[in-house]
Every structure is written in C-alpha cells, then in structure tokens.
Amino acid sequence: MNRPFNMPDEFVDGFMKAGASFWRSLGGAADGEREGTAVNSPLGSSERIAELQADYLKGLYQLSEHIIKSAGAEQGEESVETPRGDRRFHGTEWRESALYRILKQCYLLNSRYCTDFVEALDMDEKEKHRLRFFTRQFVEAMSPTNFVATNPDVIKLATETEGQSLKAGLDNLMADLGKGNLTITDESAFEVGKDVATSKGAVVFENDLFQLIQYEPATERVAARPLLIVPPCINKFYILDLQPTNSFVRFAVDNGLTVFMVSWRNPDHSCGHFSWDDYVEDGAMRAIDVSRSISGADKVHAVGWCVGGTILSSALAILRTRGDESVASATLLTTMLDFREPGDLGVFVDEETVRQREQTIGKGGIYRGAELGFVFQTLRSKELIWPNVINNYLKGRPPERFDLLAWNADVTNLPGPMYCWYIRNMYLENNLRVPNRLTMCGTPVDLGRVDLPAYVLATVEDHIVPWRSAYRTTGLFGGDIRFVLGASGHIAGVINPAAKNKRSYWISSDRCDDPAAWLASADEKPGSWWNDWIAWLKPWAEVQHPARAQLGSNRYPPGESAPGRYVKAKAD
C-alpha cells in the first residue's frame, strides 16, 4: 500500500495498536473485542488519574485567570512554563503577544496532560512504551507552530511576501508528494566522492554484497596490523568520512593506521535473496580475510558501528568457535547485542508485524530504504520532521545545506530475508545474547567466545541504541572490555572530531551488572572519545613498518578509486 512520505505499514499499525491499548486500559474493548470478549486490562491507577484530572482543571482555571489578567497586555508571566530547550516558541510574538502566549500555554497544558495520563495508566510496559511513543507523535504534530493560522512567523512572512511564501511552500509540498518523501536537506549540495567521502584510496575487492576500500597512508610508517571498519548496512559508510574536518577515516589514517572500509551494496531487486548469513560470511568475514591478506598481517583490528557491529560480533563469535584468531581487537560503536531494551524502535516490532513482513519479503524481496528512513525520522520528529515542514511548506524556503542530513537522506534498501531474520532474532526474540541458541553459517554462536580486547562506545542520548543496552555487551564478551559513554546521540556522539575536542565522555574501571551503578562510579572527561580510543589502541599497534606506496596486492589489485560505485547507487 502506497502512503504519503513512505509511511510504512509498521507505523500505521503501531498507531492502531496504541489506540487499542489505550481503549482497553480505560475499560473498553478494541475493534474485534467488543462482543463476547472480556476486558483484561481495566483502568489501573484510578487515584493517579483523578489527581491528574484535578491538576488539569486547576491548570485550566489558572490559565483562565491569566487570560483575564493579561487581556490587552503586551507581556506578562506565563501560567504554564515552556520546557527548557524547546525551540519551537523562540519567536518574540510567543512572548510579547497575549494571544500567542495563551495559545502556546493551552497547547503546553494539554500536551503535559496527555503525556502524564499515559504514564498513569496501569498496563503492560511494552504496550505503554508504544502508547507513549505514538502519543508523543500526536502531541508534536499538534503544535500550533505547525499550522499557518497559528504560527506568527509564517503569517508575518506571508504578509511581507504578499503570499508568495505560501505559494512556494505549496510548490515544495507538491514536489515532495511527487517523490514520496519529506525533504530534510538540500540533497543536491553534496556529491559523494566530491564533497563527502573524499579520502583518497581505491577499491581492492568486491563481490555482490560489498566493495572493500583501502585508503592511502598519511604517515611514513604504519602499524603492521590494519584497521577494518564494518559500517551499518542500513546507511552508507561515508558517515565515517564526511569531510576532512570530521572524518573518522582521516583521523585513523593520520594516526598511522592502514584503513580498510566495507562499502555495502545498496540492494536492488536482484539482491532480494541475501540473508543474514551472507552479510556475516560473505561480508564481514570475507573483508577480514582480504584485509589481512593485502596487509600481510597476522591479525587485523576491527570496528563495527550499529548493525555493522552486530554483524561483526556475530562473525567474531563464529571465527573464535572455528579456532580462527585473525582479529586482534574489536571496537563497537553504539551497537546492540542484547535487545531486551531496544528503545523506540521496539514499538514497531511484535509477532504480528514480523510475521507479516516474513510473509511478504521474508523469502525474497526488498525492504525499501525510504520506509526505514521515515521510521528513523519519527524517532526525532521534533528535530527532523516538523522544523522541515515549517521551513519547506509553511515558509516556502529551500532546505538547508547540511552534510550530515544529506547522508541521512541518502537511504539504502535491505534484502527482505536478511531484514526479517534480523528483526525476529534480535529485536523480537533477543536470541543473540543466549549462547548457542542461534546458528549462523553452520556454526553455533556464543558471544562469550569473543575473548579479545574490546572497546565499547555508547552515547548517552542515543535514541536508536539506548546506552544501557549497549552497556550489556560488557557481560556478553569474554575478553577485557573498555566501556566508554560519550555525550550526545547516535550520530553526533560518534562523529565527534578529535581536532575540535568538544563534548565529553565517561569512563570507569568498575564492572557491574547495573548500568546505573556503572554511571555513578564513572568519571567525566572533557573532549572527544576519539583521543581515548586511539590511546587504547596504541599498545596493539606498536609494531610498525614502512607504509606501502601501492594499494592492494598482486592477488587483490586496486580497481576504481574510492569511494567506489556501490556507495553512489541510489535506493529504488
């Protein structure tokens, strides 16, 4: 079913299920349960509900008093305070105009009541999480800033331009409806290989699943053991090589490492048969083998990010079980291996939705990147959706030029069999954490066999991989682990250039099962975690030899220049 802005079935179904859960919690019944079905989830905390209703009525009374007192006034105190950090109401009219102040406070009062009401309901935590998420979507969508008639900045601009801003906004809307997705940045401003992904190198290997890029050395001597990076296949690798000033690749090369990068193919329908095992064996494990062969090293250092880290960890467990010790150390960046608390992405996953996907694409087909991109945007709708709706459609302005958002909009498809297996076994059933429950590539998988040194990074504001979930890797791997908690979120927390040395990170030598207890014992260090990571890696990279003038080897000669053609392919 085609929907505007590539809204996937999981999003629509999630809204329906959240509504059904809410109705049941109030003592009603969802559609299909109204006749002959007992209600199992009556309203629980009636005292708390009554208290919320009393507080809400009190808030309405205070707001009414405020309206009367401030009638005709240009400015006055607010009876409902704007939450700290809320940028939607920064315009002067929201403070100086009595009408807009009242409009804003009515919205904030109702928003607070909606969210507090959900928290007061006595219901299953997973259902409450879903209801909490979709209530937030509704609350954020209803902000008065999102409508022409109730946004003073939009009205002012429309007046100044004699309506031309609204006309331009309508043109932008029709263009986005035509292409099927919301424009979040100027997608033509950055060309892959020219403006981003500019580190020099060459493709030294490729198969139907990925290209392997080797980057040119930047130092006269390099570590004998190379660094292999396995990025997420859900996005393109160049988030790690955006521009020279914020390129993790450039940082690693400048620190004397020979860097190899996996560039996943953007699957089309000819790739609809690829499985999870393909990504592990023909992807990560093949890349390890080729990197080691080209460098002539006994072992490689490996980095995995997000689902790339899950793929890498699966490969490491298989290699260890097979007696293969070709990896010297592992670095996992915002990676989940224990999915018991999957964050907001978990609201889209239940037995019914997974089974539906398995029936449609589980045996062959493509999960469209545009749909997955919409899901990720909803996780940060206040930052990624509604500001762009206001800018593009209400104000008629062109989207901003931002390299990170250009990467975010450059979506990738996923093979149906691989996606369905991943969602069921990781998000739904959380099988990877249980030793030998899963068999991949014909080998039982036990993460406890991964006994090599590991650097595990999480970020405190991560909305995709909650840091507490990433922390649980410390109880799954069998080797010595350095856990580091970085500031910011899933992307900005990782791409924190050492040269700028901004933000901070937390470290602690204590090891405990409780993430909160670990955080209580941790020390905050100023600056970028990149510097901490390279210092951690140095002892395993002390053996050096002269950098080679030529990339690749006789067996794997260099081909096309970096970044290669796979990363330039657009999703269907």
Of 271, 243, 262, which Cα lies nearest the Cα of 369? 271
Q: Which two tokens stand for residue 95?
A: 């403070």
Residue 306 falls in the annotated catalytic set: yes
Up-side HSE of residue 204: CA atoms within 13 Å toward CB? 28
DSSP, collapsed to helix, strand or coil, labels residue 381 as: helix
Q: Give the separation between CA 213 and CA 495, rounded to whole angstroms.
A: 20
CB 215 within 8 A of CB 564: no
Q: Give the separation between CA 475 and CA 497, rounded to whole angstroms.
A: 29
DSSP, collapsed to helix, strand or coil, labels residue 55 as: helix
DSSP, collapsed to helix, strand or coil, labels residue 426 as: helix
* Burial 321-331, CB ≥16 within 10 A → b, else e: eeeeebbbbbb
Per DSSP (E only), the strands in 181-278 are 201-206, 210-215, 221-223, 227-230, 259-264
Q: Give the separation between CA 391 and CA 155, rounded to whole angstroms.
A: 13
Q: Give the separation between CA 74 and CA 93, rounded to whole angstroms.
A: 10
Q: Give the separation between CA 206 and CA 229, rounded to whole angstroms.
A: 15
- Which amino acid does the sequence have at 29? A
DSSP-derived secondary structure letter, 18: H
The active-site residue, picked from 106, 114, 233, 306, is 306
Report the catalytic residues. 306
